[in-house]
Structure 1
Amino acid sequence: MSRELFDRDAILDLSVNIIPLGILLFFFGLYIVANPWGFDPVFSTLQFAIMGLILIALLILTYVSGKAVERDERRYDDGEH
């Protein structure tokens, strides 16, 4: 059985996290392509490390919360509440 990772309702619930992910990816790419302040080994590495850690943490949080939403929706659909 081929089943999607998340259904439409779960994606709608997760849009609260998906929109900031898109914004983070946009700025991450923007600062890689056109860094207006130049590249400083210390500050640029720190900047990319902070943005990267936030991006990874938000990805993990989105996936875990999506699995929890799916599990609760399945439990609710099965008649347990």
Structure 2
Amino acid sequence: MRADREDMIRDALAALPEGEFHLPDALGAAWDTLWIGEKVGLGNDFLKAVRAGRFAGIEDTGRKDHGLHLYVKRST
């Protein structure tokens, strides 16, 4: 994952309340500026990073909702 994309995600996650979320919802308008290939790549990179524990307090629920991975933010 590119450093600028990781920073964008970290900023979005910091502002996010605890609970379940989809990556596009967390990123808001920034998600809409990405090309489809970037969205797919970023989604895959984020999933791998979450599973590797690179985002403290963020977990993969192992479920999908409306075709999107569902994550949960917990207090750290």
- TM-score (normalised: structure 2): 0.33
Greater helix content: 1
Max Rg structure: 1
- TM-score (normalised: structure 1): 0.31
Greater strand content: 2
